[in-house]
Structure formats: structure tokens, C-alpha cells
Structure 1
Amino acid sequence: MPAAALPGRATASSNPGEIGLSGWGNYPKVSTELLAPRTPAGARDHLLGRSGVVARGAGRAYGDAAIGTHATISTHCLNRMRSFDAATGQLTVEAGVTIADILAAFEPRGFFLKVVPGTKFVTVGGAIAADVHGKNHHRDGGFGTIVESFRLALPSGEIVSCSRAENAALFMATLGGMGLTGMILEATLRLLPIETAWLLQDTRVAANLEAAIDHLESSASATYSVAWIDCLARGAALGRSLVYLAEHAARRDKELLGPELAPFPSPRMSRLSVPALFPGWLLNRASMRAFNELYFRRGAAQQGEPRLVHWDPYFFPLDAIADWNRIYGRRGFVQYQCVIPQARARRVLADILDRVSQRGDASFLAVLKQLGDGGGPMSFPLRGYTLTMDFPVSDTLFGFLDELDALVVDAGGRLYLAKDARQSRATFESGYPGLAALRDIRQQTGATTRLVSHLSARLGI
């Protein structure tokens, strides 16, 4: 497969047989040998006799989690759907099938994925490896809750079946294990039957962070909830937000659907694209403040009665802009996602937002969500609140993020490995008490020196 066809950014390398590869944040850029098997058996064979290897899906991990220290195995060609049982909703697919593929095939037939992340362009293998979460984690848990089983290729070449009943410890360690227990070849998921794919969205305006958290807590019974948060607002408006609550519209909502609206609308295609040479300097304090003000006013105008919205922009707002990661320029960006336990969330998040607003270069699309308890020992969520922000890479950024890390650690929180590109080993180890269980599994399966990503080498996993 040519490098240009790969997800993420690929560039030529000075070492023969290697390319420069990065995650969705375009930082860091590192050299690796790239392997692209066309079958599950070929993927298993690529594991044999190799060290420093890890699997890679659609390249939507933001940092260095899906780049092997010596070789990276792309699942791009492992994109076949194997079987589907409409009576049970069970779907078996290869690891390289994306959420977009599944929704395009099954949403018109009245099925959805109960848990989806903020982009539909992630693979099933990647979603399991990161145990991704959506806007309903506070109610329904992470992606692992809809996984019935998967087949995992171990470094020895053995292929094992894993479920909650078979190889259960390996199954749980793989959820959120960032591809470090083995290579997922295929998985069986449980789809959610729906009456329509439209959503009834209730928009609420929150004057500040306190009000946003109050809205999220008072609406915990809502299936989906998320807050867009203005991370540049200051003073009494610190953390002002738009809170979006939603439920799947039912057939009984026909007065809202109307005769002209099909109950299962097609996915929306990306109509805009960011050019490869987009100048990063256009994204500055003034432009981001202007965007945030416009976005807030537009959202506030939608407050009132619940309104019908298309499923695609509600769940995947940034997917409407192809290659939006280029907005941050050639140096790339870091996505910072932390979770703070509920008891300390208000104070600590206010402190974080105050520092971010003073710095003035955070993202134009920051997100606040309520999370429930985690799944596997390495799953990111814990009961509390998660804040997600983008920062353009600069000479002063990493020292600033170290300061935020100290606040997170002191509060008993942690950072999301699927987004991480720079946290220290000490920060990581303080936040993941389940690390010992993952290390034990890796030692038992011979993965400790065989399955090694740049992330795992950096953090000592």
C-alpha cells in the first residue's frame, strides 16, 4: 500500500524500508517500517519473529499509540464484514472495518451502534484497543460493553478467542490495552435496534462551568449528553457552555418527522476540506475567540423545545470537515483529555479552564462530558467529568501541560492514552492502578518486548 493511502500523516524516511508516521495530531512524527497484510492470517504472520511492533487502524489515535518502535501493522485491508444476525443484532467484522462502514450498512436497516466516539472514522480494532466512549458513557459504559468476543493474535502466532467467558482476563485487559496484548483480527459486536435514526435534541445554555455541570447532573437520565465549552471565556463566564441532550426519535414522533423525512437518513458526506498547506498562524487568539462567540450565539438561539437533528452531525460534528487536523499547521497539535473524579471536578476543572483561558491558544471545540465507571483495568473512564481540548504545538506548550498534569494527578484523575503524545511516566502510573494487571498479561503472553509502541516505550508499559 502506498504511504499516501494511509490514515494519518506519512512521509518519506531516510531509512530504507521505513516511513515517517504520525497520529491524527500530526505530532510526533517518527520512523517505522509499515506492513499492510491483506488477510488475518497474513497479519498473524507479520507478528512472528518481530519485536517492537504494534497494530494500527485508521490512524485516529492522536499521538504515538499506533506506531511501533520498529514496525507497524496496518489493518487497512482487514475490512470485511463476516456475518450478521438480525434477530440478535450480532455482527462479526474484521478489525479494520470502521464505525462509518457499519453505520452506512446497518443504519438504513434500523440498527445503530450503542456506543460511538466523536468520529466515525475509527476502526473496530482501534475502538476496542482504546475502549472508546461516547456521549452516553454515564449510562451505558464504553465500547467494550457492546463487544461480545474477539479473536486475538498473540506474539507467538497463536490465535485465541476472547470473551467474558473465555480467556476473560485477556479479554478485559485488551479493552483499553492500546494494542499491547495482541493484534485484534476480528470481533463480534451487538448492534442496537432503533425505530428511527433521527435524534430529539434539547439545547441548554450554561452561563459558566458550575451551570454546565448542574445541567449535566440534573439530566443524567438522558441517553446522550455533552457540553461544548468555551475554554477562552473568563471571569463570571468561565466555562460557559452549550449542553446538548438527546434521545433517539421514535416512530411516535411522526409529527416532528413529517412525511417528507425518511426515518433512516443516509450519512452526510464531508463537504469541506482543509488544504495540506493550511497556515497555522490563522488559528490565533482573536480568530478562536470570534469563532467561540459565533458558535455560542448560534447554539443559544436553538434553546427551547427539543428539535429533530440528523444523527451524523450530533455524534460526529468534526467529520463534516475532511482533514480538519491540518488546521493547526505543520507543527501539529496535541489533544489533551483528562478525567477528574466527581467529588473534585468542579474545583479542578475551574482551575484548569482559568489557566487555559489566560494562555489563550486552546481549541475552538472543547468538550465536557460526564463519565461512569470504567471497563477494563486500562480503560480511561472513571466516575466524574472529562474535559477535552486541542492545543497547537509550540515551544511553551509542554511545560504548560505539565502544570495541568499536576492538577489532574493531585485530584486522582488521569489522561486518555488514545489522545496522549507527551505525558510523563510518573503522571501515567499515578492514574492507572490497573497497570500491574496489563503488565502481568503482557508477560504471560510474551508481549513485553514484542508488542511495543512508541507510547508504551515512553510510558514503560
Structure 2
Amino acid sequence: MTVVYASWGRYPKATPAAVYRAHWTDEDLPGGSHSVLPYGNGRSYGDSCLNDGGALLDMRGLDRVLNIDRSTGTLRCEAGVLLADILSLVVPIGWFLPVTPGTRFVTVGGAIANDVHGKNHHRTGTFGQHVLCLALRRSDQGVVLCSPTENAELFHATIGGLGLTGAILWAEIQLRPIANPGVNSETIRFANLEAFFDLSEESDRDYEYTVAWIDCLARGKSLGRGFFMRGNHAAPQKRPPSPPGKTHTFPIEPPFPLVNAWSLRAFNTLYYRKQMAAMHRAITHYEPFFYPLDGILHWNRMYGRQGFLQYQCVVPPGSAEESIRALLETIAAAKNGSFLAVLKVFGDRRSPGLLSFPRPGATLALDFPNQGQRTMDLLNNLDKIVASSGGAVYPAKDARMSGDHFRQYFPRWEEFQRYIDPRFSSSFWRRVMRT
């Protein structure tokens, strides 16, 4: 039976020639004559986790936590373990993930392969900076142990390496201590883009976690308005908040996207007005603070059968406000915006991977319903702004950037190519290497 695979954006779709469920740590790679690519939980948005016509290694079978040192906060686990599984084990004993993306339903292997970042990049950098060591299964070398001091070049190629350097079998990461599951948070309403950058500069000094939701359809003096969220892990004396209630499931796949110009404008306007006070303070459980969308399972269905494209870029500090303004003006003029428009300023912590995306500057992430050529034209126009500013687009969120742009964004790609496993490939890599 033919099985079609898709990423979280549900575009594009791919048909692998074979799918093998990994349950081994000491056997040869399967796949026969096909190219091979590890597949975690499918939470990348584009085609970096797809291998159309090749073989996929479903890594979710490697789902064991191997060791937790309660005194030092080091954790060793197999690559298919979800971040959600780690949190359920370590939060009750006073530890937390050092870096987490906006969903906890990603695998450890996927977090390393995409060198994910979170709301605390300005303090702690990327996930890869907290990986102490890992085991990599390669077709030409067997199992290779990698760390910053052992096979260091391969280690740095694997972090952010999009699964192309081999199959990660297990990894050891350093956790960070917490006193309880609470987050002492503040939500600040701001009027425009200039106010965002002022808040970000002020907040990064005192808050570990900072991020903003913006109304991407606002224009004129209100362009870039939104809510700025900042927080720190709650102090020991604070009463731990209750965990959130039952999660909900988006029940159907509509034949057309429920996200359109009318619903976007209505939602964004109402959402911006939901908090009329200048600031709201609360001690919240970590789940709604870090993972608000995880409360709705299969929320990607609301974009309909054609799926959606996420666009995440970073632009350099010197031109950040000007470039973000140009991006938002282009999006607002196209009337093809996003419910989920997220803006943050990255710190100057250097990412460890050869192809790591985070770098100093402002990063903007949005979801666009797939409306065919109209959407592609808009994203191509955004590319021009990002490329001319000296910025970059995130491969884990991409389904259509050109090879020319990829090579501009990631100038170490030729160095990276030396570490690609000879049997590994992906739909993404073939696309951006096509000339």
C-alpha cells in the first residue's frame, strides 16, 4: 500500500519508496538501494523531513530514556523520545529543558537536526549548545560517538544538519534547574513596531523568556502592534499553578482553508483588543506559556486540504526594524496574513551547527494558507527583502526557497557537504542543491 507522508504544514506531500521503523541501535541501516532519511514526529513544516522516492527511517521506535542524573541534571535518551516525554519525567524532580521550541511534540533527534531555538535564545542559545554528546549511525562508519571534543567536526555538522549526516541513535543533554512548574509571566500590549523593539531591549536584561505576537495585517501607525510576553521560572516560594485541563482536537479537515482575509482581520482585531490593560501579570503553568498551540491537537487541519506554508526568517540587527517593517508592509498589502505571527530578537549566542539558522537579529515567523501561486509570489517577495538585508530563512520551516537563496543564507554549505552520509538525502536537500 502506498503511504503518503507530509510535514506539519501538509505541503508538500511525498511518497517514500519504503518506510522502516527503527528499533535497533546496533544493526546496519535498512533501505536497500534507496537513499535514506530519519523521520521523527513530522513537526518540521516543509520538506526537510521528507524523502520522496527514497526510504524513511521512522525513529519513534527509539523511545527510551536511558539515564537521568538527578544531581547534575544530565539526561541521556534515544533519539525518538519526545520533548513532552522528557518534561513529564524531569519537571517533578526539579529540572526543565534548556531550550524548547513552540511545541513539545518534537523528538530529541529532530530538535538536534534542526537546532531548534526558543523564547530564551538571548540567554541560552539553541538546543544544540546543550547537547553534551550523541551517537550517530552512519552507513560508511557504523556507530560514531560525537561531542564537542570527540569527532567534533561531525558533531557540529550534525547539529542543525537536517538529518543528513546519519541517524542519531541517542543523545545526552544538560537540563536546567527549576523550583516548580510555574512561570512568572507578564503580557504587555504595545502599539507598533517601534514599541516592540523598545520592549525587547528592556526585557532581555531581566527576563529569560521573551516573545511577541503581532497583528500582521495592521498598517500605518499601528503596523507591528501586538502583545509582548516575557517571563521567568517561578521562585521556590511561589505556589505552583495547576496544570491545564483537557486538550481539544480540531475535528475535521475542511475542503477549504478556514483562514482567509476576512477571518484573519476579524481574529487579529479581536485578539488585540482582548486585553485592554497595558499589562497583565500571572503565574502560569509552563504548558500554556511555552506551548499554547499544543492545547489543540491537529490544529494544522484548519488550513484545509492544501495545507499551509510557514515562513520564518531572521534579519540582522543593524537593519532589523527597517527590514521587519518592509516585511509586514508587504504582507499587509497582500492581505494574506497569519493568525500566528511571532516576532522575537535573537541574542548573540553563536549556534554550534554549520547550518544552524539562529544568528543575531530579529526573527519573524508566520503561517500562510496555501493559495497556490499567489502565496508563492508573496513568499518570493519576502525572500527579496530578507536576502537584500543579509538575513536567512529557516530550512525546518521551508518548502520552496531557491537554491541560490539557500546558499547565500548558509555560506558554509560546501563545508557541510563533506559530512553528509553517502546514503542519506532528502527532498529539501535535492531541491536546494538543484542548479
Note whether the superposition's TM-score is higher than 0.5: yes
In the alignment, structure 1 segments of 5+ residues that lack a partner are 1-11, 14-18
Cα separation, 2, equivalents of 1:85 and 1:183 = 25
Match of 1:226 among 211, 215, 222: 211
Matched, 1:245 2:240: no
Match of 1:374 among 351, 354, 373: 351
Cα separation, 2, equivalents of 1:183 and 1:137 = 26
The answer (yes or no) to whether the contact 2:249–2:298 under 8 Å persists in 1 is yes
Cα separation, 2, equivalents of 1:115 and 1:451 = 27
The aligned counterpart of 2:51 is 68
Question: What are the superposed Cα offsets for residues 421-456 of structure 1, whole Å, 9 maximum, x if unpaired?
Answer: 1100011011001212211222xxxx24x1100001
Alignment-mate amino acid for residue 67 of structure 1:
L
The aligned counterpart of 2:364 is 387
- Which secondary structure state, in structure 2, belongs to the residue aligned with residue 45 of structure 1? coil
The answer (yes or no) to whether the contact 1:141–1:375 under 8 Å persists in 2 is no
The answer (yes or no) to whether the contact 1:51–1:452 under 8 Å persists in 2 is no
Alignment-mate amino acid for residue 333 of structure 1:
F
Question: What are the superposed Cα offsets for residues 90-120 of structure 1, whole Å, 9 maximum, x if unpaired?
Answer: 1110000000000011111111101000000
- Structure 1 197/408 Cα, relative in aligned 2: closer, same or farther at 3 Å? same
The aligned counterpart of 1:215 is 199
The aligned counterpart of 1:52 is 35
The aligned counterpart of 1:90 is 74
The aligned counterpart of 1:112 is 96
The answer (yes or no) to whether the contact 1:45–1:157 under 8 Å persists in 2 is no
The aligned counterpart of 1:6 is none
Shift of 1:76: 1.3
- Which secondary structure state, in structure 1, belongs to the residue aligned with residue 254 of structure 2? coil
Cα separation, 1, equivalents of 2:281 and 2:426 = 45
- Please, which moves more after superposition, 272-281 or 31-40? 272-281
The answer (yes or no) to whether the contact 1:204–1:300 under 8 Å persists in 2 is no
Cα separation, 2, equivalents of 1:429 and 1:304 = 43
The aligned counterpart of 1:399 is 377
Matched, 1:309 2:293: no
The aligned counterpart of 1:31 is 15
The answer (yes or no) to whether the contact 1:335–1:420 under 8 Å persists in 2 is yes
Shift of 1:269: 5.9
The answer (yes or no) to whether the contact 1:176–1:376 under 8 Å persists in 2 is yes
- Structure 1 459/88 Cα, relative in aligned 2: closer, same or farther at 3 Å? same
- Structure 1 454/85 Cα, relative in aligned 2: closer, same or farther at 3 Å? same
Cα separation, 2, equivalents of 1:270 and 1:361 = 32
The aligned counterpart of 2:310 is 335
The aligned counterpart of 1:41 is 26
The answer (yes or no) to whether the contact 1:272–1:321 under 8 Å persists in 2 is yes
In the alignment, structure 2 segments of 5+ residues that lack a partner are none
- Structure 1 59/270 Cα, relative in aligned 2: closer, same or farther at 3 Å? farther
Shift of 1:248: 0.4
The answer (yes or no) to whether the contact 2:189–2:226 under 8 Å persists in 1 is yes
Shift of 1:51: 3.8
The answer (yes or no) to whether the contact 2:191–2:226 under 8 Å persists in 1 is yes
The answer (yes or no) to whether the contact 1:374–1:383 under 8 Å persists in 2 is no
Cα separation, 1, equivalents of 2:203 and 2:396 = 28
- Which secondary structure state, in structure 1, belongs to the residue aligned with residue 128 of structure 2? helix
Cα separation, 1, equivalents of 2:252 and 2:425 = 30
Shift of 1:72: 0.6
Shift of 1:40: 2.3
What TM-score do the two structures reach when normalised by structure 2? 0.95
Match of 1:364 among 339, 363, 376: 339
Alignment-mate amino acid for residue 194 of structure 2:
E
The aligned counterpart of 1:276 is 252
Q: Across the two proteins, how many residue pairs are aligned to each other?
A: 428
Alignment-mate amino acid for residue 353 of structure 1:
L
Shift of 1:280: 3.0
Cα separation, 1, equivalents of 2:170 and 2:342 = 31
- Which secondary structure state, in structure 2, belongs to the residue aligned with residue 306 of structure 1? strand
Cα separation, 2, equivalents of 1:119 and 1:299 = 24
- Which secondary structure state, in structure 2, belongs to the residue aligned with residue 105 of structure 1? helix
- Structure 1 176/411 Cα, relative in aligned 2: closer, same or farther at 3 Å? same
Question: What are the superposed Cα offsets for residues 310-361 of structure 1, whole Å, 9 maximum, x if unpaired?
Answer: 1101101110110001110000000000000111111111011011011122
Cα separation, 2, equivalents of 1:413 and 1:342 = 10
Matched, 1:235 2:220: yes
The answer (yes or no) to whether the contact 1:336–1:388 under 8 Å persists in 2 is yes
- Structure 1 64/281 Cα, relative in aligned 2: closer, same or farther at 3 Å? closer
Alignment-mate amino acid for residue 356 of structure 2:
S
Matched, 1:141 2:141: no
The aligned counterpart of 1:353 is 328
Cα separation, 1, equivalents of 2:89 and 2:183 = 19
The aligned counterpart of 1:287 is 263
- Structure 1 161/365 Cα, relative in aligned 2: closer, same or farther at 3 Å? same
Q: Alpha carbon RMSD of aligned pairs, Å?
A: 1.6
Alignment-mate amino acid for residue 273 of structure 1:
T
Match of 1:435 among 404, 413, 426: 413
Shift of 1:304: 3.2
The answer (yes or no) to whether the contact 1:270–1:322 under 8 Å persists in 2 is no
The answer (yes or no) to whether the contact 2:70–2:93 under 8 Å persists in 1 is no
Alignment-mate amino acid for residue 296 of structure 1:
Y
Shift of 1:137: 0.4
Alignment-mate amino acid for residue 231 of structure 1:
C
- Structure 1 198/26 Cα, relative in aligned 2: closer, same or farther at 3 Å? same
Shift of 1:276: 3.2
The aligned counterpart of 1:454 is 427
- Please, which moves more after superposition, 275-284 or 233-242? 275-284
Q: State how 1:135-174 maps to structure 2 within 5 Å.
A: 135-156=119-140, 158-174=142-158
